[in-house]
Each structure stands twice: as structure tokens, then as C-alpha cells.
Structure 1
Amino acid sequence: MRPPERMAALAAALALGSCATSALDMAPDRPDKPWTPATTAAGEPIAGAPGVSGGGAGYVLPPNPALRALPASPEIDSAKTYTLPQLIDLAESTNPATRVAWNDARRSALAAGVAESAYLPRVSASVVGGYQATNGSDSTAGVNLAGAGSSHGAISVVSVEWLLFDFGERAAVVEAAKQASFIADVAFTAAHQQVIYEVSLAYYRCQGARARFATAKQSLANALAVEAAAEERFRRGVGTVVESDQTRQATAQARLALVQAEGGARDAYVAVLSAVGLSPLTTIRIADTGRRTFSPSMLKPVEGVIAAAIARRPDIQSAYAAQKAAVAKVRATEAEFLPKVFTSATGSYNPGSLDVTALPGLGAASSTVNINNNRLGAAILAGVTVPVYDGGTREAALKQAEADADSAGAKFDQIRNDAVRQIVVADNALRTGLAAVSAASALVSASQTTFDAALAAYRNGVGSITDATIAETQLLQAKLAYADSTNAVLTAAATLALATGALGGAPG
């Protein structure tokens, strides 16, 4: 190569090499300076365009006008009061988690179909057009012979490849793909159970927050009643300023508790919207559960519950399928050590004068051979491939597959043990909650009687303001304890249903 040609080739290589590093212009210039993306005239950021470093906007991105619009919320009947089952039905159609799980299941099913297609032959067709030119000279016995020629044409080729026998490798791959599809299907059910669980918990917490708000309102009414009694005694000359100040303090505390309870109720309402998959700006009416009664029949022998749950829980079924898939992958890897029987056929048509020995393949496609300047060509081949030596690649892959199968078995045992633990913990929480509800109910009844008596005694001049205030506080605490224990029982029941894989069963 002459010097000018070398310099041109070097310049071209340097230009091509700088193309990759020039992409650094898209990144911020410095680590300690703000960066602002380039935008269109409408204000939308331009991906891949160099931004501006050190701008005056600081570490705040400019608003993207394409993101201003909020997603459309599903149609909500504003006149309807939604119960928990209706909220669950709404969540199963609006919560993004259910759609993601559905798409995952469909993708896994298609992957199993791709694995099964390995049993079918591969047919490809190619059409190639080209031009060939030759120019040269030969010298023989002092005589120089020069010649030049050209040819052109189009070649049409159809090729077929078919793997006939592979000692069960494809069967094992298909089995692993089907198990993966089953795992995705189980995950679809588990996603729905999780959505039901989250909506149920949010609903019960909302009910608990409403009960706390109602209790705070009643507590404020009680505080106002005590304050009114103190003011009346003061007007009659039998009360003191200290008693009036104490009751006003108790009223102020009750108002603060009411404000906090109202904020908690609003937060719980937003949590229900989030669990359902609705915008926090949505307005929806949520039904109250009212006063709940619990039956001892909710409790069943935990041993029988565990036996049914082990065979029904989604995570245990998924772990079992993953174990079977890992074993199938071991069989597929073992088949890599054995021969494969295949057949292939090629047919070509070359109406021109091109003279080639093969057509180049694209991607993973193999080259098509038996091409010459005759018009028609055909070939049918059959053969056996036997792996001889690959530097230990197959042996390493087999050991990896065996390790994966062993880990899948260990994970199955671990998930099963964790499931038993979760069921026992949830069952204990339910039993504790039921006992707490019974105790809190008795406490509320006794506290209400004590408060009524203390207030009446204070009004009649035979009781102290201290007794009335203490009774008022104890009544508030008893009602809050009852609301919390009721919410704990409902939450524990939902948790136990999720732990046993029974959550989401059809009514009846």
C-alpha cells in the first residue's frame, strides 16, 4: 500500500473510533454541576442530544409537557357505596399487577410453544442478485495472455433442515418450558391473591381508622359534657376555677385527638384507592362494616389447616414446578453429550451466469451450498453429528444444571417450612385477636358504666373532677382498644387465608 493510501486508511480508522467516544457529549460534563436536558420548542426533552451543564435551574428537571396528563380513571358510580367484595372486583380489573402477571403467563406459554417448535423442520428461502467481474493476465513460455469477463444474474434457493433424533434433549427442554409456563400461571393466581389481600387489609384499616374517628368524636362529646358540668358547678358556686381549667384542657386534648383521627381516616381512604389501583384523586364511597361479631368456629385445628395449605399454596406449587424444571434441564444437558441425527435438502435455480459455491446466511441461518451456473440444482443430505471435544464446556454446563437442581430442591424444602411457620403465626394472631376482642368488649362496657357514674356523681356534687376525667380517658382507651382488636382479627383472618392459599375462593 502506498503512503497516501496508508494515511487515508489511518484517518478513516481514527474517525470511526471517535464515533463511540463522542457519545459522551450526551452525559453531564461534571459530577458536581447541575445538568439540564436539551428540549424541543414544546419543552419535551430530546433523548441523545447534548444537555447543558451548570445551568441556573439547579438540580431540578424541566417539566415534560407530555407527562402532565394524569391517566384516566375507571368509571366510578358516585351514587354507589362499594363493599369489600365490590372493591376487590374493581381492583382485579384496574390494579396493574394483575395485568403484568397475565402478560407474564402469556409470554411463558409462548416460550413453551417456541420450545415445541424445535421438533419441526426449518424451511428458508433466499433470493440473491449479483454481478461478477474478472480481469487478469497469464504468462506462459514468454507469451502474455490477457482476459476480462463479467457475469450477472439472480439465484433463488429453498433449503430445509430437520433434526430427527437427539436422545431426548428437545423433550427435556420442552418439559422445562412447560414447567416455567405453569409457574407463570401460578404466579398469575398469586398476584390476584395478593391484590385481594392488600385491598382487604386497606379496607380493614380504613374501617379501623373510621372507628377511631367516631370514637374521637364521642370522646369530644364526653369532654364537652364534663366541661359543661364543671361550668354549671362553678356558676352555682360549688365548683372551682381549677376544675373548669382542667375540663377545658381535656376538651382541647379531645379536639386534637379528633383532628389526628380525621387525618388518619383520610390517609386510610387514600390507601384503599391505592390498593384498588385508582388515582388518589378519585372520589368513591366505601361501605362501613358496622359492628362485627366473631364466632369461635373461625378457629380450626392448625394441623389440618397446614395439611391443606401445603398442597394449595401458590409458592409451594411454583417451587415444586421449578424443581421439576431443573431436573428436566439436567436431562437436556446430559443429551448434549450424545449424537444428533439430521437431514437437510437444498433446491436452487440460477437463470444467469453467476458462478458461486454457496449463498451467505443471515444471522443464525446456515449457508446454502450446491450453487453453480447451471439453471437447476438440488441436494438431499443426511448425517450424524457426534460431539468429541469442547474443552469441558458440556461437563461444566452439566455440573451447573445439577447444582441448580439441588438448589431447587433445597428451596422447595425451605419454602414449605416457611409456609408452615407463616400459617402457625397467622393462626396464633387470629386466636390472640379473638381473645382481645372479647376482653376489649367487656372493658368498653365496664368503662362506659364507670364514666356515666362518675359524671353523674360529679354533677350531683358527690364526685370529683379527677374521677370524671380519669373515667373519660379510660373509656376512650377502651373504645380504641376495641377498634384496634377488631381490625387485628380481620387482618389476621385475611393473613391466615393468604397463608393457607385459600384467599380469593369463589363465594359459596
Structure 2
Amino acid sequence: MIHFKKTVLLPLLLSGCATQALETAPASPDRPWQPNVAANGELVPGKPGSHALAVPAGYTLPSNSQIHVRPPAPELATQAGHAYSLPELIDIAQSANPETRRAWNLARDAALAVGITKSAYLPRLTATVVGGYNHSRNDGANPSVSNVGIAENAINSGLSGLNSALGGVRNSRSGAGEIQTLGMEWLLFDFGKREAVIAATKQAQIATNVLFTAAHQKIIYGVTTAYYTHAAAQSRVVLLCKARDNARFVEAAAVAKLHQGQGTIVDVTQARQATAQTELRLVQAEGDEQNTALELLNAIGISPNTKLETLDISGRPLGLDDIRLTDAFVQQAVSRRPDVLAAYANAKAAKSRVRAAKSEFLPKIFITGNVAYTTGRLALSSVPGVGSEAPPTLNLSSNAFSSLILGGITVPIFDGGTRAALLKQAQDQSDSADTTLQQTVDSSVKQIVVAENALRTSLRAYTASAKLETAAMTSFEASSAAYRSGVGSMTQTSIAQNAYLDATLAHSDAYYAALIAAAGLAFGTGSLNQNEGSSIPSAM
């Protein structure tokens, strides 16, 4: 009865242990989770104990002191006050940005995958050592005989009395032993499966290496656009500072005329309104400048706490020649884009996987063997091997040395359609890879044409905004002079002032938009590099 209770209670206790893990989950859907927090603020497994760190009330998690914000980039801290050019920041990004290291690790993993698949041509050697100790004991038994006729009861009674007098028949036996084996398996011929697998892995490695280059191009493009965007924000701040000074000059003129009895309070109010509007736009522009600086640091991949000064690139001449991409140039550009090259390699890898799937229908030739040495007296007929590739060991009850080598051929006959399904999957994947390649090519052509249109539009906008800025400046200077001479109105001066400010900002924005569009075209054609990220192509 006691044994029955133990047998029933033990599974119940074990099942209760599994559900105890619910104590570490949130208690209810409408209450905050109470984590188990170490003294340093780190979240640790388990339910909170009596000595756990108290957490803030509500849904605020504790601060982990083991997580640190990166300090300013040391490569920039050593050159405080230096204005960095775009190529300098790109060089820093290529070594500091985490994306390059991740892409590099993926490329290394792909190279190792090729080495792993090549190892399929080599034999597999497995060494196994099995040892143990065996002990058995017999506490005795009541001897008896049967089928002896009328004397059976008398004989059994005599044997039972003798067994009781002698205390029963007892014996014990023990022994130890071990076996040492060295096994070998070698696939000699498989009708090209290993070759196809290696070819697919090599193509996958090419795709990974191409994507490593793509990661660098992406970083160059990201730093380039962030650099020009930040430069545009800085230029807007400078221009708005000048506009604020102009607005204050006009406001001072309106106040002076009012004191001279030539102006009105309405003129002064309009002038002050124009000054306030310009100051508001300046505050907003300064905030944008700070945000774009953070975006630049993030694109480089360094700490946001880094103080960075960039080189002033305003006023550089732009190549304003009309850009027309020829079909030959588009063909060359598409064929060198990283995404197209990676899609092409993936398509070839998929075809190799189809060949590997077809080889599963063919025989395989192999050899296998092992060398074993056994010693001891375990009184066992067999001991299972350790590991999926280890052969069973036999008869650990003697000292023996044995060796075995076998050769064979395996021919797949029936597997319920598994190989046919795998082949169909490989063929479908190959078809999808070919379709993806064609789609990638078409998308690349579209991106190149769109980038060309964007650059051509930006250059035309830059030219048009230059004319607009010149006309707006002339209008503002004329209306301002007329107002000071007493023949103009403050309304006309304010309108001209706002128009001149908008035209100046538009011209500046068009300048940096053309630089960003040029970088976009270079990125789209797969020709963006560290030294040409800021160039405007003059002809293609």
C-alpha cells in the first residue's frame, strides 16, 4: 500500500513543479509585471525574492547598471575643433558602423560554410571509450522438486528444513570492463550530390560577399545624405540669421520714421511682425540643425554624445550639363549593382540545389569499418554506442582485439515520395530565384531612371532658384530703399522681404538637393564610393 501511494504521488509532485514556473509570469493582465532584480539592476530569472531590489511603481522597469552609453568617439575626440570633410567621415563610418562588422561576420560565416561542405569528401572518424562496473547478488531461494510421486511432500519438507538451517543459498558477483573503438565512415561516390551542394554554397558565399560590399555602399550613401542634409540645415540657420538682421534693420527704419513723424504705428507693427516671424523660423531651423547633426552621427555609427564639426561646402560650383543616360550605361550600371549581383548568385545557387536533389535518386558507394579492443568481465552481451555515429559494442566479458572493414552500395527504392517532393521544392525555389532576379533587374532600371530624373530636376531647380533669388533680392533692395526715401510702403517692403527670404532658402535647399540627388544616382548605378560621394556627374 505504501509503495502504491509513492507511485501515485511522485508523478503528481513532478507535474506540480512544471506549473510553478507560472509564478515568474505577470500575475494578471491588468497589473504590472514584478521582475526579479539583482542589486545592480539587472533582470534575472525567477520570481522576486525578499532580498530583491525594489522596482518603481507602475510600468517603469529598473535601470540596469551593466548597460552603458557609449562615450564620444575617440577617433573624433583627439581632433577637437577640426572641421571634417565628407570623405573623412565616410572613412570613420566604414570602421565604426556596426553594420560593416555584421556584414563582415556574415561573409566569414559564408566562407566557413563552404569549408564545411567540402569536408563531406573526407572520411568520418569516431573514437569511443565505454567502461563500467557490474555487481549482482543472490539472496537465496527455497529449493523444491516436483513429479516424484508420493514422496514429493516429504522431500520438499526436508529440503525446506535444510535451507532454513543453512540460512539459504547466497552468492554475489562483480566485475569491471571497458572497450575502446575507432570507427570510420567514408562516402566514396554519390553521383555529384556533394559537388552540387558545394557549388550552391560557393554561390551563396559570392552573394554574401556582394552584400558586404552593398553594406559599405549603403553606409557611404547614408553618411553622404546625412552630411548634405546637415549642411543644408546649417545653411538655413546662416541665411535666417541674415534675414533676421535685415528684418531688424527694416524695423529700425520704421521706428525712426515714426519718430520723425513720417511713418505710422501700423508700419512699425508690420516690421516687428516680420522680425518675429523670422526669429521663429530661426529657432525652428536651429532645432533642425541639431537633429540633423544627430542623424549624421547615427549614420556614421558613433556615439550621439560626440561633438562634431563639419566642413562648410556651400558655394561649390555644380556641373549643370544636361544628364542623359544611354542604354549602354544603364546596362552596365544594372549589371554591377550589388542587389542584382546577389540575386544572380542566389539564382545559380538554387540551380545547384536542384542538381543535389536529383542526385538523391541515385546510388551511393561507401566504406565503413572499426577497430576495437575490449577488456574486463562485465558479463554483458552488448552496450549501446555513445553518439549517433558510434557502433554498438559487444561482449564486455573478455579481453579481445578486433577489426572490421566493409564496403557497400545503397540504392534508394521507396521513401513515400519524400525525394520527389524535395526535388519539386528545389525546382520551385529555383524558379522563384530566377523571377526574383528579373524583378530585381527591372527595379534597378526604375531606380536608376528615377534617380536620373531627380538629379536633372534638382539641377534645373537650382538654376531657376538662382534667378528667383536675384530677382527677389533686387525687389527687396528697391522696396527697402523706396521706403526709407518716403515713397514706398511698409507692406510692399515686408512682402519683398519675405519673398527674398523664401527665394534665398529655396536656392540653398536646391543646391543641397542637387548634391543629394547626385549621390542617389551614384548609389543607384552601383558606383558610389568614398571619394565620389559628393560629385555631380557632368555627362553620362
TM-score using structure 2 length: 0.88
* Separation of aligned partners in 1, 2:327 and 2:49: 64
Which of these residues, 332, 347, 369, is aligned with residue 371 of structure 2? 347
Query: Are the equivalent residues in 2 in contact too, given 1:451–1:468 (CA < 8 A)?
Result: yes
Amino acid at match of 1:264: D
Query: Are the equivalent residues in 2 in contact too, given 1:35–1:55 (CA < 8 A)?
Result: no
Identify which range, 370-379 or 190-199, moves more after superposition. Answer: 370-379
Query: Are the equivalent residues in 1 in contact too, given 2:90–2:530 (CA < 8 A)?
Result: no
Identify which range, 416-425 or 35-44, moves more after superposition. Answer: 35-44
RMSD of the TM alignment (CA)? 2.6
Amino acid at match of 1:470: I
Q: Closer, same or farther in 2 for the Cα pair 1:10/1:64, shift >3 Å?
A: same
SS at match of 2:27: coil
Amino acid at match of 2:260: R
- For 1:104, the equivalent position in structure 2 comes to 106
* Separation of aligned partners in 1, 2:293 and 2:509: 17
Q: Closer, same or farther in 2 for the Cα pair 1:41/1:432, shift >3 Å?
A: closer
What is the Cα deviation at residue 368 of structure 1?
4.1
Identify which range, 92-101 or 230-239, moves more after superposition. Answer: 230-239
Are 2:177 and 1:175 equivalent residues in the alignment?
Answer: no
Query: Are the equivalent residues in 2 in contact too, given 1:112–1:181 (CA < 8 A)?
Result: yes
Are 2:334 and 1:310 equivalent residues in the alignment?
Answer: yes
Are 2:6 and 1:8 equivalent residues in the alignment?
Answer: yes
**Residues 343-492 of structure 1 mapped to structure 2, 5 A cutoff:** 343-354=367-378, 359-369=383-393, 373-492=398-517
What is the Cα deviation at residue 455 of structure 1?
0.7
Amino acid at match of 1:59: Y
SS at match of 1:350: strand
Q: Closer, same or farther in 2 for the Cα pair 1:132/1:298, shift >3 Å?
A: farther
Deviations 1:102-149, CA, capped at 9 Å, x for gaps: 111111111111111111111111111112346689999989999864
- For 2:57, the equivalent position in structure 1 comes to 57
What is the Cα deviation at residue 287 of structure 1?
0.9
Query: Are the equivalent residues in 1 in contact too, given 2:72–2:304 (CA < 8 A)?
Result: no
SS at match of 1:453: helix
Amino acid at match of 1:64: N
Query: Are the equivalent residues in 2 in contact too, given 1:310–1:500 (CA < 8 A)?
Result: yes
SS at match of 2:46: coil
Q: Closer, same or farther in 2 for the Cα pair 1:407/1:439, shift >3 Å?
A: same
Query: Are the equivalent residues in 1 in contact too, given 2:237–2:285 (CA < 8 A)?
Result: yes
Identify which range, 73-82 or 275-284, moves more after superposition. Answer: 73-82
Query: Are the equivalent residues in 1 in contact too, given 2:40–2:66 (CA < 8 A)?
Result: no
Q: Closer, same or farther in 2 for the Cα pair 1:505/1:249, shift >3 Å?
A: closer
- For 2:156, the equivalent position in structure 1 comes to none
What is the Cα deviation at residue 68 of structure 1?
4.5
SS at match of 2:504: helix
Task: Count matched residues.
Answer: 505
Deviations 1:47-79, CA, capped at 9 Å, x for gaps: 233589x98701111211212554563331113
* Separation of aligned partners in 1, 2:271 and 2:58: 53
What is the Cα deviation at residue 332 of structure 1?
1.1
Which of these residues, 211, 223, 242, is aligned with residue 247 of structure 2? 223
* Separation of aligned partners in 2, 1:55 and 1:92: 41
* Separation of aligned partners in 2, 1:471 and 1:156: 98
What is the Cα deviation at residue 22 of structure 1?
2.1
Q: Closer, same or farther in 2 for the Cα pair 1:356/1:332, shift >3 Å?
A: farther
| Gapped regions of structure 1 (runs ≥ 5) | none
Amino acid at match of 1:62: P
Amino acid at match of 1:25: E
Are 2:246 and 1:246 equivalent residues in the alignment?
Answer: no
What is the Cα deviation at residue 5 of structure 1?
3.8
Query: Are the equivalent residues in 2 in contact too, given 1:82–1:285 (CA < 8 A)?
Result: yes
* Separation of aligned partners in 1, 2:410 and 2:264: 106
* Separation of aligned partners in 2, 1:349 and 1:111: 36
Amino acid at match of 2:460: A
Query: Are the equivalent residues in 1 in contact too, given 2:55–2:61 (CA < 8 A)?
Result: no
Amino acid at match of 1:66: Q
Larger Rg: 2
Query: Are the equivalent residues in 1 in contact too, given 2:522–2:528 (CA < 8 A)?
Result: yes
TM-score using structure 1 length: 0.93
Q: Closer, same or farther in 2 for the Cα pair 1:147/1:59, shift >3 Å?
A: same
* Separation of aligned partners in 1, 2:278 and 2:334: 49
**Residues 239-278 of structure 1 mapped to structure 2, 5 A cutoff:** 239-278=263-302
Identify which range, 3-12 or 320-329, moves more after superposition. Answer: 3-12
* Separation of aligned partners in 1, 2:222 and 2:205: 26
Query: Are the equivalent residues in 2 in contact too, given 1:74–1:94 (CA < 8 A)?
Result: no
Are 2:208 and 1:210 equivalent residues in the alignment?
Answer: no
* Separation of aligned partners in 2, 1:298 and 1:345: 75
- For 2:166, the equivalent position in structure 1 comes to none
* Separation of aligned partners in 1, 2:483 and 2:450: 47
What is the Cα deviation at residue 476 of structure 1?
0.6
What is the Cα deviation at residue 303 of structure 1?
2.2
What is the Cα deviation at residue 40 of structure 1?
2.3
SS at match of 1:231: helix
What is the Cα deviation at residue 481 of structure 1?
0.8
* Separation of aligned partners in 2, 1:417 and 1:329: 25
**Residues 107-256 of structure 1 mapped to structure 2, 5 A cutoff:** 107-133=109-135, 149-256=173-280
* Separation of aligned partners in 2, 1:487 and 1:32: 51
Q: Closer, same or farther in 2 for the Cα pair 1:164/1:307, shift >3 Å?
A: same
Identify which range, 453-462 or 425-434, moves more after superposition. Answer: 453-462
